[in-house]
Amino acid sequence: MVDAQKERIISVIENMYFVAIYDLPLEVYKPICDLNRYKNTPHMPLTDEYSAYTNTTSGKDFLEAAKEVYWKKLKDGIFQSPYYSLFVDESTDWTMVQHLIIYITYLTNERRGPCATKFIQLLQIRDGTSQSMYDVVTSLLAYMNLSMTKLVGFGSDGASSMRGIREGLSTKLRRHAPHLVDIHCIAHREALAANDASSYFEELQAIDKFANKIYSWLGKSTKRHGELKELMESFQVTRLQVLQIYHIRWISRGKVMERLVKLMPSLLRHWELVEKKMYEMATIFQVQFCIHLLADVLIELNKLNQKFQEDHVDITSIGTILDITISLLHKRFLRETFGAGAMHTSSFLNKTQQGTLEFADCTSIVHIHELRCENLPKSQRSGTLDDCITLGKAFVMKVIDSLNARFKDLPIFNAAKFFSPRNYYEDMDDRDSQTRRWLTCLCEKFISGGLLVVDNIKCMGEIDEFICTMYKSYPKMHMFGTWDLCGGEIEWFKGFPCLTQLWQAILVIPASTAVCERGFSKLNWIKNEDRSRLSLKTLDMLMFISLSAPHALNEVDWNAIYDEWKEMKTRKPLPL
C-alpha cells in the first residue's frame, strides 16, 4: 500500500483506538469516522465504503492489531524481569459467565526500573474449582514463556479455591515454586477483621439491618427524597444520599455509618413527623450510640483499607500502619475516658448527657429528641450508658484481636525493611543485629523447598558494606524510593549481586488485589446491559487496551499497529 493509503488507515486506527481507551461502544466508531470526514480531518478515507475500513468489523481488526503490539511488548518486558508475581481473582459477570482476571507485577527496564502492575488477560473458566483455575493460569504462563522459578508472589482474595492448604490454586503453584509467597489481600483481610468483630454482637448486626432498612425506606420515593432534601437544607446539612451496606464491599459499612451520623438531624425530624416506627427505633440510646461508635471505628479502618488499595503497597509499611491504627483504637476507646478523641462518639456522649439529642436548624429552633434506655431485640444488655460503653470496649477489643489474627505473615513484611533505610536503627550495633535478623528471615523464605532463589552465604558476605552504603547514602528513604535511585546503577549489581537479586524479588511481592477488583469494575463497565453479547475475545481486547496500553495518543506506536494489522491478512486497497 502506498503512503497515502497508509495515512488514511492510520487515521481510522486512531479513531478506533480512541473508542477503546475511553470504553465507548464499538458502534460509535463509524459515526466518529463520519464526523471526521465531514470536518475534513486530514487523511480520512474519502468514502464510507466497506473497503474504507470504517465499519465495526474492520475496527475489531484494528483492536486486535493494537492489542497484539502492546501484548508482545508487555510479554517481553515481563520475560526480562528477574522475578514476577501474580494477582488472580475470579468473578461472575451479570450474564453469569465466570471469568478469571490476571495481573502481573514485574520490574521494568530490563530488571532495573520501577515495579509495574499490568492487566494481562481475561480468561473464561469452566467452573470455579482450583483445578480449572490452575489449568488456565499455567497455560497462560507457558504461552508467555514465563518460568515458574521466577514466580515469587501470589495475591488473591483468600477464597478456599485460591488458598486452600490442600488443593487451592496457590498450593498447586507452590509445587512448582516452593518459595512462593502466598498473600491474602491485605485490604480484604482488614474488612474481614471488622466483619469478624461485629459478628460477635447482636446489637451491631441489628444496626446493620436498621441501616439497610433506612435505605429501603427511602428507596426511589420522589416525595421522601424531596422532604428529606428540604430538612437537610433547614439543618444546613450538605445534600447527601443514604447508602446501602454491601457486605462484599470493603469499605461500604464505614461510609454508611458516617453518612447516617451526618443525616441524623434531618432523619429524626422527618420520622418524628411522619414515621413513628422508624422514630421509635432511632431514639433508642443504644442505637444512636452504636451508629456513632461504628462511624468512628470504621473510619479508622477505612483509612487503613484505602492505603492498602494502592497498586504498589510498600510491604515494609504494613506493620507500621497496622500498629498506628491499633494504637489509635486503643487510645480512643480502651482508656479511662471512652471515646476521647473520637469525633462522632465524643460529640454524641457530650450531647446526650441529659438523655436527649438536640439539633438546631438554620432558624435557631432547637429540636429535642428524648432517648430511651432499652435493649435491642436479642440483646442481653439493658441499653444504659455503662452497658453501651462495655459493648463498645468489647467490640474494639475484638477488632484489634481480629486484625492481629489475620496478619500472621507480618514477619516477612517486617523483614523486608532490610531494604528500607528509614527503618534502620541509629546505633550501629543495634542496626547490625536487626538487619541480620531481617536478612535471615528473608533468606529462609526464599531457600525453602530446596529451590535456591538466593545464596544465603553470599548474601551474608555482602551485608556489612550493603547496609553501611544504604544507611549513609539513602537515609530515611523507603524501599521503593531507594530502588528508584539504585536500580539503574550498574555498580549495585556488580557490588552486591546477591542482595540486589533478593531486593528484586521483594519488590514484586503483592500486598493487595484491589487492582483485580478495579479490573472487574472495568469489565462490568464495558460489558454492560447494552453490550451483553460481547465475545470473550473482544472483551479481552477492549480491557487490555483500556488498562495496559498507552492512553496518551502521542505515545502510541501507530506504525507498529499498522504493520501488525497489515500482516494479519490480505487487504483490499483503498480507493484514493
What 3 state SS string does 409-449 have? CHHHHHHHHHHCHHHCCCCHHHHHHHHHHHHHHHHHHHCHH
| Angle, vertex CA 478, rays to CA 473 and CA 481, nearest 5 | 75
Asked if the model's pLDDT at residue 244 lies above 80, the reply is no
CA distance linking residue 376 with residue 134, whole number of Å: 48
Asked if the model's pLDDT at residue 245 lies above 60, the reply is no
C-alpha cell, 573: 486497497
Asked if the model's pLDDT at residue 563 lies above 90, the reply is yes
Please give the pLDDT value at position 299. 86
- Mean pLDDT, range 134-146, rounded to an integer: 95
- Mean pLDDT, range 258-262, rounded to an integer: 88
Task: Give the confidence band of 128 by pLDDT, cuts at 50, 70, 90.
Answer: confident
Asked if the model's pLDDT at residue 408 lies above 90, the reply is no
Task: Give the confidence band of 522 by pLDDT, cuts at 50, 70, 90.
Answer: very high
Task: Give the confidence band of 576 by pLDDT, cuts at 50, 70, 90.
Answer: very low
- Mean pLDDT, range 20-39, rounded to an integer: 92
Please give the pLDDT value at position 240. 57
Question: Which of these, 97, 248, 244, lies nearest to 159 by C-alpha position?
Answer: 248
Asked if the model's pLDDT at residue 415 lies above 50, the reply is yes
- The residues facing 119 across adjacent strands are 103
Task: Give the confidence band of 238 by pLDDT, cuts at 50, 70, 90.
Answer: confident
- Mean pLDDT, range 162-168, rounded to an integer: 88
Please give the pLDDT value at position 550. 95
Please give the pLDDT value at position 281. 94
Task: Give the confidence band of 250 by pLDDT, cuts at 50, 70, 90.
Answer: very low
Q: Which residues, 6+ apart, have CB-to-CB distance to 46 below 8 Å? A: 37, 52, 575, 576
Asked if the model's pLDDT at residue 451 lies above 70, the reply is no
Please give the pLDDT value at position 212. 86
Task: Give the confidence band of 284 by pLDDT, cuts at 50, 70, 90.
Answer: very high
Q: Where are the beta strands (DSSP E) in 330-486?
A: 356-360, 366-370
Q: Helix, strand, coil proportions of the chain in percent (round to 5)?
A: 60, 10, 30
Please give the pLDDT value at position 232. 77
Which letter does DSSP use for residue 341 in this model?
Answer: T
Helical ranges in 144-185 per DSSP H: 160-163, 169-174
Convert 217-237 to b/e letters by CB count within 10 Å (16 or more is b).
Answer: ebeeeeebeebbeebbebbeb
Q: What is the residue-averaged pLDDT of the chain?
A: 88
Alpha-carbon distance values, 396 to 18, 48, 107, 201, 560 (Å): 50, 67, 40, 11, 58
Asked if the model's pLDDT at residue 537 lies above 90, the reply is yes
- Between strands 98-107 and 115-124, the pairing is antiparallel
For 339, left (φ over 0), alpha (ψ -120 to 50), or beta? Answer: left
Angle between helix axes 29-38 and 3-21 (nearest 10 degrees) is: 130
- Mean pLDDT, range 346-370, rounded to an integer: 91
> Using one digit for the tens of pLDDT, what is the confidence trace for 76-120?
999 999 999 999 998 877 677 888 999 999 999 988 889 999 999
Asked if the model's pLDDT at residue 355 lies above 70, the reply is yes
What is the percentage of the chain residues whose pLDDT exceeds 90?
54
Please give the pLDDT value at position 453. 62
Asked if the model's pLDDT at residue 321 lies above 80, the reply is yes
- Mean pLDDT, range 225-254, rounded to an integer: 66
Task: Give the confidence band of 572 by pLDDT, cuts at 50, 70, 90.
Answer: low
> Using one digit for the tens of pLDDT, what is the confidence trace for 427-438?
999 999 999 999
Asked if the model's pLDDT at residue 68 lies above 90, the reply is yes
Asked if the model's pLDDT at residue 251 lies above 70, the reply is no
Q: How many helices (H) and strands (E) are present in the chain, helices listed first?
A: 24, 7
Asked if the model's pLDDT at residue 449 lies above 50, the reply is no
CA distance linking residue 512 with residue 97, whole number of Å: 25
Please give the pLDDT value at position 539. 93
Q: Which residues, 6+ apart, have CB-to-CB distance to 353 below 8 Å? A: none
Task: Give the confidence band of 43 by pLDDT, cuts at 50, 70, 90.
Answer: confident
C-alpha cell, 431: 542496626
Task: Give the confidence band of 345 by pLDDT, cuts at 50, 70, 90.
Answer: very high
Neighbours of 557 (CB within 10 A): 14
Asked if the model's pLDDT at residue 448 lies above 70, the reply is no
At 156 the three-state DSSP class reads strand
Neighbours of 80 (CB within 10 A): 14
